[in-house]
Amino acid sequence: MRENEERFRTANERLRQYIENAVPPDQAVPFLCECTDDVCMKRIDMTLGDYRQVRASDDTFAVAPGHAAPRGEVVVEERDAFHVVRKDAA
């Protein structure tokens, strides 16, 4: 459900705006998992650079490992703390 991903993305964007000038660029920050599960409150630690990289595309989202939707999403990058998923066009 893309609406859920967008909701968590909006919350993460507010967090980024709030802390952007207060946190060193290499410090991990607790963002919310942007998966499709509307009750997921899993925390994923990313640097602000990691977050910006995920946000570079409207079709990519940061999710906790194992939280990619089995249908409609493809894992395009795996990190220890999070995975990057892309909406599958098919």
Alpha carbon distances (Å) from 58 to 22, 24, 25, 35, 39 = 26, 25, 22, 14, 22
For residue 85, the one-letter residue type is: V
Q: Give pTM, 2 decimals.
A: 0.82
- 45-61 pLDDT, tens digit each: 999 999 999 999 988 99
Kindly indicate the confidence band of residue 89, based on its pLDDT and cuts at 50, 70 and 90.
low
User: At what angle are helices 48-55 and 2-19 packed, to 10 degrees?
Assistant: 140
**pLDDT value at position 4?**
63
